Amino acid sequence: MTSSEFREALRLAQETSGAVADATTPADDLGGTGACFLTDDLQSGFRIGWNGELTGVFSLVKGRGDVLVSESVSLGATHLDCFDGYLPTLYGRHGFMEARRERNWVEGDPDVVYMVLAD
C-alpha cells in the first residue's frame, strides 16, 4: 500500500465522519515516511512512522479500534500522541502510558496526550 492510498482513505474517512476528523491529523498534514496499513474494505487503518510513531489511526466501522491498536503494536508502534478523552483509554488498554501532556492550542479543546508503550 502506498502512502497516497492511505492518505486518500483517511481523507475520505475525515470527510465522512466528524468524529474521525476531530480525532485525527488532517490527511495532508501526515508527513514523513512510514508503513501504512488499511483494512480490505478501506474503512479503517493506521500508519507507523520509521521511528515507531503511531499516527492516523481511523475507522468508519464502530468497534475496530482495539483490533487496529493491537495490530499496530504487533507491527512496531512504540509511541503516539492523541487528544484527551476516549483515546488515551483505548491506547492504554494496549500498553501505552501517558508520558506527558500539553494544553491544546485551541482554547477549550482537549489536551494533547503523549503516550509511550510500556516496557
Q: Is the predicted pLDDT of residue 32 greater than 70, yes or no?
A: no
Q: Does residue 23 sit in helix, strand or coil? A: helix
Q: Is the predicted pLDDT of residue 40 greater than 70, yes or no?
A: yes
DSSP state of 19: H
What pLDDT is attached to residue 115? Answer: 97
CATH of the domain at 85: 3.40.630
pLDDT tens per residue, range 86-106: 999 999 999 999 999 999 888
Q: Which of 51, 27, 29 is nearest to 38 (CA)?
A: 27
pLDDT tens per residue, range 51-65: 999 999 999 999 999
Q: Which of 52, 51, 54 is nearest to 82 (CA)?
A: 54
pTM given for the model: 0.89
Chain position carrying cell 503494536: 73
Q: How far apart are the first and last CA of the chain?
A: 30
What pLDDT is attached to residue 26? Answer: 83
Counting the structural domains of the chain, the total is 1
What residues make up the domain containing 52? Answer: 3-117
What pLDDT is attached to residue 30? Answer: 75
Residue pair 114/81 in contact by the 8 Å Cβ criterion = yes
